[in-house]
Structure 1
Amino acid sequence: MGLAWPCASAHCLCLVVTLSLILLVSCSSSSINSQRADSLSKRSTHLKMDQALLLIHNELFPEKFTVYWRSDQCYQCLYQTLAKSDQRSDRASDVAVVDARHPMTLQINATSGNTELCRVHYRFREFGNYSLWVKNSNSSTKDIACNIIINQNPVYTNLPIVIAFFIYVAIFIVLSLGSFLLRLNTVQNWLCKRMNPVETDRLINSELGSPRADLGSQDPHFATWNAAPQRLRSLDTFRGLSLIIMVFVNYGGGGYWFFKHRSWNGLTIADLVFPWFVFIMGTSIHLSLTSMLRKGNSKWKLFWKVLWRSIQLFLIGLFVINENYCRGPLSWNDIRIMGVLQRLSITYLVVSALELLFTKLLPDPVPQNRTCFLLQDVICYWPQWLIVIVLEAGWLCLTFLLPVPGCPTGYLGPGGIGDFGKYPNCTGGAAGYIDRLVLGEDHVYQHPSSNVVYNTTVPYDPEGILGIINSVVMAFLGLQAGKILVFYKNQHKQVLVRFFTWSVFMGVISAILTKCSSNEGFIPVNKNLWSISYVTTLACFAFFLLMLIYFLVDVKKFWMGGPFFYPGMNSILVYVGHEVFENYFPFKWKMQDSQSHAQHLTQNLVATSIWVLIAYILYKKKIFWKI
């Protein structure tokens, strides 16, 4: 009889994750909802996610005052009005809704004379109920005290994430234990007696266990695994990891602020994945073009293939998943020209053309007595590096020397209320100016993340024209990783050492550029600008992460890369599919409480897991969408 035990294989990890998350996160949703309902039932104001309630009590009556606020995430920002104490009695209180994502500073100014009475720094928690008491600190003096007390405790909204984390840990333990048991002779003998011997043998030698050498020629999956020098599983695993995180954050990331893009300088989890995807694309470019050139394909033939693929990517991004749909039906008058796939297409074209123009096929294996062996992956391709350095010099010159009307030269700020409101229409400096000048304001992204904290009103595109240069640099650094894999083929120690060295080198450059600060460095880490420090920082992480995955997957074979390997094999399909079907069931449904992190997280994790499952099924059916 056939063996129908899918959970014995690591392939079904995605299905187990989906079912477990639906069950346990939904349970946490009900408990959190009941807790939040009890808390909100006593409040007169309906709160949304990332908000808390603040009652303002004035014991200085009849003196009136105004409460201003400024988020810690808003660098050099103007204070904004939160509430005015206009009550007609010393027993009354004003009600205000405050932001609960980041710590903030409250400044209380007297209405008469606008003099500062007091200032308090506080971190409000989501769905909490607080009171701000403004009173004399001592009856014999005129000193003013501002105190915040908790009326009702906030809700611990991170509980669903904790539950999801323990689910993944539990699944890892179960799979590891299953792998260990299946290697025991006693278990193997029992399975051989109880089940079909052929199918049992396949089970024992599946991805959950260790492939046997005598089955290598018969098992096609083993053949794929053993073909690592031709297609490294670590690359597809890294690509899939970046893609799955990208899908999750695009679907909303449970509504948590740390799964959304940073408003301006700095990093969140959402800011990591796109550069990693660009990085691994560069790695794949070198391996793919090198392989095709070795097969005798001409450079011109490969260039036309690269050009056609780039055009397809650009058109898909322009017409299929254009973000400006939120402004109504797409039209030529306001269509967003740039975007994620458009950025990928141009980057892919430039880096591939650069590779085809200067690449030289080296003998296999590469002789190690060459004079430039220690740095041959850099020195032997000095023309490519020279062009990349020139491109980066162009980015620096345009960013810091291009005159922008109404803005200081070299401005890197968000505009809006940043820089104390001096440059409200200078969002992005030269980068924003070039996009508005070349593309037109109506063809630029209308809802940038900068307007969340900095209240910007100028359209700004984080995938704009100027940022393409640093996207090319990021892909070229990924190309460098591919060269390392080729030059040090089958020399795992050398590959790991080189990856680690590049990671440290990129990290040192980032530390110098940023002065290890979010806002005070020469060039801050900024995803909206795709600053060079952003590229070096993410390249540092990418080299280190690729080193770990390469060690676990391709060197020691402790991990087969699942479940990330499967989306990595069908990355374009998963990315386009998740954008096109984002608002369709089962990827989205009507929630009972749209202000529940638990329900948002459940929906987003289920949707992401479904795409992993789809990618796995397509992999088993050998269906891959290539353009």
Structure 2
Amino acid sequence: MAEIKAEPGHHHTLAIPETDISAKKPQKTQRVASLDIFRGLTVALMILVDDAGGEWPMIGHAPWHGCNLADFVMPFFLFIVGMAIPLALKKIPSKAQAVKKVVCRTLKLLFWGLLLQGGYSHAPDKLTYGVDVKMIRFCGILQRIAFAYLVVALAEIFLRLSPSKDVSAGHFSVFRLYCWQWLVGACILVMYLALLYGTYVPDWQFTVLDKNSPEYGKVFSVTCNVRGKLNPPCNAVGYIDREVLGINHMYQRPALRRSKACMENSPYEGPFKTGAPSWCHAPFEPEGILSSISAVLSTIIGVHFGHVLIHMKGHSERLKQWIIMGFALLILGLVLHFTNAIPLNKQLYTFSYVCVTSGAAALVFSAIYILVDIWNLKYIFLPLKWIGMNAMLVYVMAAEGIFAEILFWAIIAGILHQFRIYWKL
């Protein structure tokens, strides 16, 4: 089987949104099948945990510290976006043109994110639409992806260097070639840790604005007056979001309310305990400002894997880089968590969480790469490939609650289309 190489006719589309970069010569382009399948697997995983997470909380988001199956979805998306960035931008010689494409795709992501999660479209089965601008949610999944994509893509455009020699000559040559991108990542990490542990969190109060809550309209106070805490009521992530976004514009039903301190049936949804802490009723933004800054690190790590795919020509060289780095990240994150240095926490997007989820993404992608690009087992993954090639469409349908009704026929249509191309029908 032919390897995936950085040929003039070889490019890949971006995870969400999808790219469409024209080649200089009018020839049929190819896609990196393993990346499409990984993207499709992540979208399918997102739909699974969204639909079944309430019934099986062990696969839903962890209420606070810890990492369940659902907590891998967001970093997997960011990792995929990062991998696709160098593949998508490598054929655009003009920096101005590349910036234009990046900005346009960022704006598209922000538009869809605000539309789907801001409150403009809700309860589609009841045909209720519209938004209360006093309660609109500014942050969300697509907004976080847009931010990470914009930062990392601009760094890729302006900081990448031309290789002076074959980077496959040494295992650290890819790191040296893209040292400025890694410096950006180091600065982001330092800034995140400084704000997370250095920000003073004062006492605060809030009014319950969730109309479905029995505590609607009640005012609660939370005592903090601390610095460097990672508990639900007094962490810097929530404090910065309350100050910048406003508590009305944050997620009203966060996973932290399913913690043991709050609910009788934790980790299941249910009534609050008698005398539950006041912060159990408070909003919290899981895709907020400070945590989104940390989330950029997942995309930067993904970019490195895309660089390896472009510059390393042999399967063994690529896999050696990916697997070693994947295990290194996984071990580092687990050590930080189990030594209580930095706990795993998706809602805070801690550094240990970045390491564990990025390492897992690296190993999952490596396994798919072996199955698809080395063993050529593409056709058993056709449904996932179709989902990955139409990720934005599937995401919108899932968010609108109409995906389940048409998934079956969409997959069938995708399989038939692939077989028609394969057999040239």
**What TM bracket, shorter-length normalisation?**
0.7 to 0.9
Determine whether 1:476 maps to 2:296.
no
Aligned to 2:82: 282
CA distance in 2, matches of 1:262, 1:470: 18
SS at match of 1:466: helix
CA distance in 2, matches of 1:300, 1:525: 39
Q: In the superposition, relative to structure 1, how do residues 569 and 405 fare at CA in structure 2: closer, same or farther (>3 Å)? A: same
CA distance in 2, matches of 1:477, 1:488: 16
Determine whether 1:332 maps to 2:133.
yes
Aligned to 2:197: 400
Q: What amino acid is aligned across from residue 268 of structure 1 in structure 2? A: N
Aligned to 1:258: 58
Deviations 1:335-361 (A, max 9, x none): 000000111111111110010011134
CA distance in 2, matches of 1:228, 1:509: 42
Of 365, 373, 376, which aligns to 2:173? 376
Q: What amino acid is aligned across from residue 342 of structure 1 in structure 2? A: Q
CA distance in 1, matches of 2:420, 2:281: 49
Task: Kindly indicate whether the alpha-carbon contact (under 8 Å) linking 2:291 and 2:348 is maintained by their aligned counterparts in 1.
Answer: yes
- Aligned pairs for 1:338-487 (under 5 A) are 338-362=139-163, 367=166, 373-406=170-203, 407=224, 408-415=226-233, 426=234, 429-453=235-259, 454-455=261-262, 456-487=280-311
Of 506, 527, 533, which aligns to 2:352? 533
Q: 1:559 offset after TM fit, Å?
A: 3.8
Determine whether 1:524 maps to 2:348.
no
Identical-pair percentage? 31
Q: In the superposition, relative to structure 1, how do residues 539 and 333 fare at CA in structure 2: closer, same or farther (>3 Å)? A: same
Of 360, 374, 391, which aligns to 1:555? 374
Determine whether 1:543 maps to 2:362.
yes
Of 229, 235, 240, which aligns to 2:40? 240
Task: Kindly indicate whether the alpha-carbon contact (under 8 Å) linking 2:330 and 2:356 is maintained by their aligned counterparts in 1.
Answer: yes
Aligned to 2:102: 306
SS at match of 1:563: helix
Q: What TM-score, normalized to structure 2?
A: 0.77
Determine whether 1:497 maps to 2:296.
no
Q: 1:383 offset after TM fit, Å?
A: 1.3
Of 395, 398, 404, which aligns to 1:587? 404
CA distance in 2, matches of 1:273, 1:434: 24
SS at match of 1:558: coil
Q: 1:311 offset after TM fit, Å?
A: 0.7
Which piece of structure 1 moves more, 528-537 or 316-325?
A: 316-325
Q: 1:268 offset after TM fit, Å?
A: 1.4
CA distance in 1, matches of 2:341, 2:409: 43
Determine whether 1:512 maps to 2:335.
yes
SS at match of 2:383: coil
Deviations 1:77-122 (A, max 9, x none): xxxxxxxxxxxxxxxxxxxxxxxxxxxxxxxxxxxxxxxxxxxxxx
Q: What amino acid is aligned across from residue 402 of structure 1 in structure 2? A: T
Task: Kindly indicate whether the alpha-carbon contact (under 8 Å) linking 1:509 and 1:536 is maintained by their aligned counterparts in 2.
Answer: yes
CA distance in 1, matches of 2:137, 2:146: 15
Q: 1:414 offset after TM fit, Å?
A: 1.9
Determine whether 1:574 maps to 2:394.
yes
Task: Kindly indicate whether the alpha-carbon contact (under 8 Å) linking 2:167 and 2:312 is maintained by their aligned counterparts in 1.
Answer: no
CA distance in 2, matches of 1:497, 1:574: 33
CA distance in 1, matches of 2:194, 2:28: 43
* Structure of greater relative contact order (alpha carbons < 8 Å, 6+ residues apart): 2
Q: 1:574 offset after TM fit, Å?
A: 0.6
Q: What amino acid is aligned across from residue 317 of structure 1 in structure 2? A: G
CA distance in 2, matches of 1:266, 1:306: 34
Q: What amino acid is aligned across from residue 404 of structure 2 in structure 1? A: F
Q: What amino acid is aligned across from residue 433 of structure 1 in structure 2? A: Y
Q: In the superposition, relative to structure 1, how do residues 504 and 369 fare at CA in structure 2: closer, same or farther (>3 Å)? A: closer
CA distance in 2, matches of 1:256, 1:461: 23
CA distance in 2, matches of 1:252, 1:615: 25
Task: Kindly indicate whether the alpha-carbon contact (under 8 Å) linking 1:310 and 1:345 is maintained by their aligned counterparts in 2.
Answer: yes
CA distance in 1, matches of 2:419, 2:392: 17
Task: Kindly indicate whether the alpha-carbon contact (under 8 Å) linking 2:46 and 2:73 is maintained by their aligned counterparts in 1.
Answer: yes
Q: What amino acid is aligned across from residue 353 of structure 1 in structure 2? A: L
CA distance in 2, matches of 1:557, 1:395: 42
Task: Kindly indicate whether the alpha-carbon contact (under 8 Å) linking 1:247 and 1:608 is maintained by their aligned counterparts in 2.
Answer: no
Q: In the superposition, relative to structure 1, how do residues 609 and 255 fare at CA in structure 2: closer, same or farther (>3 Å)? A: farther
Q: What amino acid is aligned across from residue 309 of structure 1 in structure 2? A: R
Taking only aligned residues, the RMSD between alpha carbons, in angstroms, comes to: 2.8
Q: Which runs of 5+ in 1 are unaligned?
A: 1-209, 212-226, 416-425, 589-606, 623-627
Higher strand proportion (structure 1 or 2) = 1
Q: In the superposition, relative to structure 1, how do residues 258 and 615 fare at CA in structure 2: closer, same or farther (>3 Å)? A: farther
Q: In the superposition, relative to structure 1, how do residues 385 and 440 fare at CA in structure 2: closer, same or farther (>3 Å)? A: same
Number of paired residues?
352
Aligned to 1:38: none
Q: 1:392 offset after TM fit, Å?
A: 0.6
Q: Which of the pair has more CA radius of gyration? A: 1
SS at match of 1:587: helix
Q: In the superposition, relative to structure 1, how do residues 433 and 336 fare at CA in structure 2: closer, same or farther (>3 Å)? A: same
